[in-house]
Amino acid sequence: MSQDDDHQLRVSKIRDGTVIDHVTAGRALTVLAILDIDGSGDETVSVAMNVPSGETGRKDIVKVEGRELNQDEVDVLSLIAPEATINIVREYEVVEKSRVDRPEVVLGVLSCPNRNCISAGAEPIESRFSVLTDGVRCAYCETIIRAELAEHIDVG
Amino acid sequence: MRHDHVLSTKQFSRSEIEAVLDRAAEIDADPGSVADRHAGTLLGLLFFEPSTRTKMSFEAAIKRLGGEVVDIGPVGASSVEKGETLADTVRVVEGYADALVLRHPSEGAARMASEFVSVPVLNAGDGAGQHPTQTLLDLYTIRERVGLTDITIGIMGDLKYGRTVHSLAEALTRFDVSQHFISPESLSLPTNVRYDLHESGAQVREHTELDAVLPELDVLYVTRIQRERFPDENEYRAVAGEFGIDRNTLAAANEDLAVMHPLPRVDEVAPDLDSTPHARYFEQAHNGVPVRMALLDTLLS
Ligand SMILES: Nc1ncnc2c1ncn2[C@@H]1O[C@H](COP(=O)(O)OP(=O)(O)O)[C@@H](O)[C@H]1O
Ligand SMILES: [Zn+2]
C-alpha cells in the first residue's frame, strides 16, 4: 500500500481476509449483497464509502476479515464494479492481487426483470444470465438487461 | 439433427432447417410411406394455454406416423391448479411419453422443462417468447410459394409480444431474405430479438405503415394485435384498423404476393381476401401436419 492510501485509510487493517478495493462509489452495499454477506456469519466486515481516490474521484472499499474470496465469487462483481481489485491479505500483507474478470454466466445473484419469465415464478431453478459485452441476458426468457444491473440484484 | 430439444429457432442452422423442410416435402408427397414408422410412440401433450391448430396438428402428425398421444388435458383440470411446479409436472410426465410438446404462458418454460427431463421437449409456444415449430411450417409455406432465396418479406402486427414473429425473424436470418417490420411503435420488436437480428448481421428495417414497402413484398406475414395490449378500446380499434388488410389495401401489391397468418385471425385479414390467390393462410395451417411429422420423425428416429 502506498503512503497516500495509508493516510486516507478510513478503516483499520485486517489480519487475514479479503479487501475489495476500487469499488464503484456507492456500490459497496450491493457488493456485500452479491457476496451474500449480511452480518449473520462470523466474519468481521468493514465498509468505507465515497472515499476520495486519485484515479476515479471516489470509491468504496469493502474488507472481509477471516475469509478469502475466490475468483468465481468475485468475478460477478465485475458487472457492477468493473474497476474493483481483489486483495487477499494474510498476516496484514497483501499476498495476492487481482482484477475482477467478466464471467461468462451469472448464476443466482440477479433476478430477471421480466415478470412473465419462468425463472421469476415458483419453479425450483436459480436465475441464470449469460454475460454480453454491454449487459446480461436471461438464459430462460432471453430478456437483456443493459443499464443499472445493480437494480436487479436479488438481495435476500 | 444434433438437438435433443426444439426450444427456439436460433438453435437451427440453415441446413438443419432445410433438412426438415425436405423431409416434410417427401412426407407430404407420400404420407403412406411413414404410416407405421413410429408405431408405439407416445407423444405427451402439455398445453397450459388454449390451442387449436398447434395441438391438433401435433396430434395429427404423431398419429399419421403410427404413434399416439397422452394429453394432460384442459389446464383447469390439471396439476397447475393444485400448485404443482412445471418442473415437477414434466418430470412426472416424461415417464409416460417419448417426447413432450409444451405450451406455457411463461417465457422460458420450455427451456426450463428441457433441463429437467431426458426426453425431447418441443416448445409449442412460451408466452411472448418463441414458437419454433410454427416457424418451420411458415418456412415450408414460404419455400413452396416463393422460394427462400432473394425474397422480401414484410412482418406486420404485434411484433413485441408475437412469439411466431420472434421465431420467424430469427430463422429468416439464415436465408437470403430481406425483412421489413411493420407495426405501431408501441408494438415494435423487443430488444432481445433486435439483438439477435443484429448479431446475425440482419438489417432491421422498421415501418409504421405498410404502404411504404408493400409493392416490394413477396410475402406479407400478418399477426394479430391483441385487445389486451392497449389501455383503451378506442386506441385499440384505431391501431387494429391501421394494421389490418383487405382487397383494397393490396391493390398496390405484387400480384404474386403471398399473404400468411399464423391464425387465428380476428379482423386483421379481411375475408374478402380468402378467395384471392394471395391467401395462403389455410394452406399454411395445413402444412403444420407434414412439417411436424418431419420434425418428430427426425427427433424420434
Ligand atoms: N404472446 C402471447 N402471449 C400470451 N398468450 C398468447 C400469445 N400469443 C398467443 N396467445 C394465446 O395462446 C392461444 C393460442 O394461440 P395460438 O398459438 O395463436 O393458437 P394455436 O395454438 O391454435 O395455433 C390463444 O388463446 C392466444 O390468445
Ligand atoms: Zn428471464
Q: What is the pLDDT of residues B194-248, one digit of tens each?
A: 999 999 999 889 999 999 999 999 999 999 998 888 888 888 888 888 999 999 9
The x, y and z cell numbers of residue B96, run together, are 409416460
Alpha-carbon distance A128 to nearest alpha carbon in chain B (angstroms) = 11
Residue A1: predicted pLDDT: 45
- Average pLDDT (B270-293) is 98
Shortest CA distance from A122: residue in chain B: B85
Dist. CA B129 → ligand 2 center (Å): 10
* Neighboring chain B residues of A123 at a CB cutoff of 8 Å: 85-87, 112
**Quick check: is B280 catalytic?**
no
- Average pLDDT (B5-16) is 97
Domains and CATH numbers, chain A: 3-99 (3.30.70.140), 105-152 (2.30.30.20)
**In the β-sheet with A93-99, what is the strand arrangement from edge to edge?**
A45-53, A57-65, A17-24, A85-90, A93-99
**Quick check: is B205 catalytic?**
no
Residue A155: predicted pLDDT: 57
A117-126, B75-84, B85-94, range with the lowest pLDDT: B75-84
Atom 25 (ligand 1): residue with closest C-alpha? B50
Cβ-defined contact of B112 to A143 (cutoff 8 Å): no
Containing A6, the helix (H) or strand (E) segment is helix A3-8
DSSP per-residue letters across A138-151: ETTT--EE-S-GGG
* Neighboring chain B residues of A116 at a CB cutoff of 8 Å: 105-107, 127-128
B2-16, B32-46, B280-294, range with the lowest pLDDT: B2-16
List residues, by chain if needed, whose CB lies under 5 Å from ion ligand 2.
A 112, 114, 117, 138, 140-141, 143
Residue A73: predicted pLDDT: 81
Of B83, B115, B129, the CB nearest to A141: B129
Which amino acid appears at position A99 of this protein? R
B27-31, B47-51, B151-155, range with the lowest pLDDT: B47-51
H helices within chain B, ranges in order?
Answer: 14-29, 53-64, 86-93, 109-116, 132-146, 163-172, 191-199, 233-242, 281-286, 288-300
Write out the residues of chain A at the interface with chain B, using a CB-CB cutoff of 8 A. Answer: 114, 116-125, 132, 137-144
pTM: predicted TM-score of the whole model, two decimal places: 0.87
Does residue B298 or residue A70 have the better pLDDT? B298
Residue B211: predicted pLDDT: 95
Q: How far apart are CA B74 and CA B270, in angstroms?
A: 31
CA distances (Å), origin B148, targets A92, A145, B175, B282: 68, 34, 7, 20
Sorted by sequence, the CB contacts under 8 Å of residue B32 that are 6+ apart come out as none
Question: CA triplet B52, B58, B61: central angle to 5 degrees?
Answer: 130
Residue B2: predicted pLDDT: 57
pLDDT at residue B104 is higher than 80? yes
Report whether B292 contacts B122 (CB < 8 A): no
Domains and CATH numbers, chain B: 9-129+288-300 (3.40.50.1370), 133-285 (3.40.50.1370)
Does residue B248 or residue B83 have the better pLDDT? B248
Residue A40: predicted pLDDT: 84
Give which of B215, B203, B221 is closest to B265, Cα–Cα.
Answer: B221
Residue A80: predicted pLDDT: 85
Q: How far apart are CA B279 and CA B274, in angstroms?
A: 5
Does residue A37 or residue B162 have the better pLDDT? B162
Based on the number of CB atoms within 10 Å of its own CB, is A148 exposed (0-12), middle (13-18) or buried (19 or more)?
A: exposed
Residue A9: predicted pLDDT: 54
- Each residue's pLDDT tens digit, B118-151: 999 999 999 999 999 999 999 999 999 999 999 9
**Quick check: is B54 catalytic?**
yes
Residue B23: predicted pLDDT: 98
Cβ-defined contact of A123 to B191 (cutoff 8 Å): no
Cβ-defined contact of A125 to B104 (cutoff 8 Å): no
Cβ-defined contact of B192 to A142 (cutoff 8 Å): yes
Query: B90, B111, B195: best mutation site toward chain A, by most A Cβ within 10 Å?
Result: B111
* Neighboring chain B residues of A122 at a CB cutoff of 8 Å: 83, 85
Q: Return the bridge partners of B225, or none.
A: none
pLDDT at residue B280 is higher than 80? yes
For residue B182, which phi and psi values (nearest 5 degrees)? -120, 115
Report whether B167 contacts B221 (CB < 8 A): no
Average pLDDT, 10 consecutive residues per value, chain A (156 residues)? 50 87 92 84 89 85 91 84 93 94 89 95 95 92 85 68
Among candidate residues B23, B103, B166, B174, the one labeled active-site is B103
pLDDT, averaged across chain B = 95
Give which of B56, B49, B34 is closest to B288, Cα–Cα.
Answer: B56
- Per cent of chain B over pLDDT 70 is 97
For the CA of B47, the closest atom of ligand 1 is: 21
Of B112, B192, B195, the CB nearest to A125: B112
Alpha-carbon distance A136 to nearest alpha carbon in chain B (angstroms) = 11
Ligand nearest to the CA of B111: 2
